[in-house]
Structure formats: C-alpha cells, structure tokens
Amino acid sequence: DGGITQSPKYLFRKEGQNVTLSCEQNLNHDAMYWYRQDPGQGLRLIYYSQIVNDFQKGDIAEGYSVSREKKESFPLTVTSAQKNPTAFYLCASSKTRATNSPLHFGNGTRLTVT
Amino acid sequence: GEDVEQSLFLSVREGDSSVINCTYTDSSSTYLYWYKQEPGAGLQLLTYIFSNMDMKQDQRLTVLLNKKDKHLSLRIADTQTGDSAIYFCALWGGGYQKVTFGTGTKLQVIP
C-alpha cells in the first residue's frame, strides 16, 4: 500500500542538540511538506519542496532545515536554534502543488526537548 | 495572510447530527477541504468541495459552502463514537497559493 512513513513516532532530545525527523513516501508525489502542530493552533507550514533538489521556506522556517535529495525522502532537521522545538511534526505530500492536489499525511513524530 | 477560524469544541450525542463550522477571509480560495485527525495520528482527507459548488454529499458527510458569507460547514449524519476526533478545514489557493488550515474542532461523541 502506498503511503507516507514518518519515523520515529516519539523522539526525546536534550536542549542544544540537533535532531533529524525522517519522512519517506512511496506515492510518487512531486511535492512534500513539513508542518508543525501545537495544541489549539492548527498546522503551520515549516518548509515545502515541489521537486527534487529544491525547497522553499514556509511560515515558520527559522531554526529548521531540510533537504530533498530523492523524490521519496524529505528529512527535517530541528536545530538548536529553534527556540521552542517541542511539538508534533507532520509530513505531507501531494501529487503536485496544484490547487486540486490534496495533501496526504504521515502519522507524525512527537518531539520532546528537555 | 488568510485567516481560517473554527470553534474549538463540539459535543453531540451518538445518533445525532454534528455540524462543524469554518469561516475564512480569502474569497478567492479554489478548493476547500475537510480533514479528520484521530489522537496521535496524522490527518486523513475526508472530503473536499470546489469553490463553484454549494453543496457536496458523500454518504454520511455533507459539505455546505456559502461563498457570500465565506462560511464552510461539515455535517455528519448519525454521528458515531468512532467519529470522535479533531476536524480541520483547509483552503487551497486564492491569493496565497498555499494550503491554510483552520485551528481544528474537537468533536466529542457521547454514547
């Protein structure tokens, strides 16, 4: 079955450490996205990529970095510069970035930084 | 940017209908989506409506769009305990060329 796999489901890190969240899709989708979810705030876009080797900042990119070396993979690194990294992170993909191409989501990674 | 508002919480009895509302500011949004999120999981696409439609029905789900009032609603008929989740509306396109999500409505179904 096609889908989006995020790993790990839970991640714990000490303050000051960088951490990388994995996102892999086998839907053959061109576009991939990272969102951050905080209680009562909906989803906020961190980064998105429309094609391999290209990505753009979303609304809250500061303290995060991404790469898109393969179509299937879009890892997110939460750096020590991110002031409040504890959150639920969701990866999504869409066939294209056109308006009629709905987002498909992974099951998320819950990151806790202490 | 686009503002998309939802009430935070809705409680209904099993078997009743649920109506989840969403208001938005950008009238040029082209596709409007409803997603469901169960605890600890990602978002699952439920249904969507194109901006030139007023209504769309899909089994127990009915989506109504009032473009004049910039109001979108999702009606769930015969609500079941398995419908308990957070529901997000999301708008694509318009002047911002991206998906904007509402704040989510937590639906609690009382047996």
Structure tokens at B95: 């002047």
At A18 the pLDDT is: 94
* B chain contacts of residue A105, beta-carbon cutoff 8 Å: 35, 42-44
* A chain contacts of residue B98, beta-carbon cutoff 8 Å: 45, 48, 58
Interface test with B, best of A4, A5, A9, A43 (most B CBs within 10 A): A43
Rounded alpha-carbon distances, angstroms, from residue A5 to A1, A104, A111: 11, 11, 16
> Reduced to 3 states, what is the DSSP secondary structure of residue B96?
helix
**Which of A33-37, B40-44, B97-101 shows the lowest mean pLDDT across its residues?**
B97-101
Cis peptide before A8 (omega within 30 of 0): yes
Test A42 with B104 for CB contact under 8 angstroms.
Answer: yes
At A1 the pLDDT is: 63
From B93, which residue of chain A is nearest by alpha-carbon distance?
Answer: A99
How far is A35 from B100, CA to CA, in rounded Å? 11
- CB neighbours of B62 closer than 8 A, spacing ≥ 6? B55, B56, B74, B75, B77
Percent of chain A with pLDDT over 70: 96
Across chain B, what does the average pLDDT equal? 91
Test B8 with A4 for CB contact under 8 angstroms.
Answer: no
Rounded mean pLDDT of A47-52? 93
Of the candidates A58, A83, A77, A7, the one whose C-alpha atom is nearest the C-alpha of residue B42 is A7
Of the candidates B82, B37, B109, the one whose C-alpha atom is nearest the C-alpha of residue A42 is B37
For residues A37 and A87, the answer to whether their CB atoms sit within 8 Å is: yes
Structure tokens at B70: 């910039």
pLDDT digit string (tens) for B20-76? 999 998 877 778 999 999 998 999 999 999 988 899 999 999 999 999 999 999 999
From A103, which residue of chain B is nearest by alpha-carbon distance?
Answer: B45
Q: In B, what residues contact A, Cβ < 8 A?
A: 1, 4, 8, 30-31, 33, 35, 40-45, 48, 50, 88, 90, 92-93, 98-99, 101-104
pLDDT digit string (tens) for B2-34? 788 999 999 999 999 999 999 998 877 778 999
Percent of chain A with pLDDT over 90: 81
How far is A63 from A82, CA to CA, in rounded Å? 4
* A chain contacts of residue B42, beta-carbon cutoff 8 Å: 4, 6, 90, 92, 105-108
> How far away is chain B from the Cα of A80, in angstroms, using its nearest Cα?
25
For residues A91 and A32, the answer to whether their CB atoms sit within 8 Å is: yes
For residues A49 and A68, the answer to whether their CB atoms sit within 8 Å is: yes
> Reduced to 3 states, what is the DSSP secondary structure of residue B99?
strand
The one-letter amino acid code at B42 reads G
- Using the predicted structure, report yes or no on whether residue A24 has a pLDDT greater than 60: yes
Per the DSSP assignment, residues forming a β-bridge with B21 are B73
Of A100-104, B31-35, B97-101, which has the strongest mean pLDDT? B31-35
A58: number of CA atoms within 13 Å, CB side? 22
- Using the predicted structure, report yes or no on whether residue B95 has a pLDDT greater than 60: no
From A47, which residue of chain B is nearest by alpha-carbon distance?
Answer: B98
pLDDT digit string (tens) for A63-98? 999 999 999 999 999 999 899 999 999 999 998 766
* More confident site: B82 or B25: B82
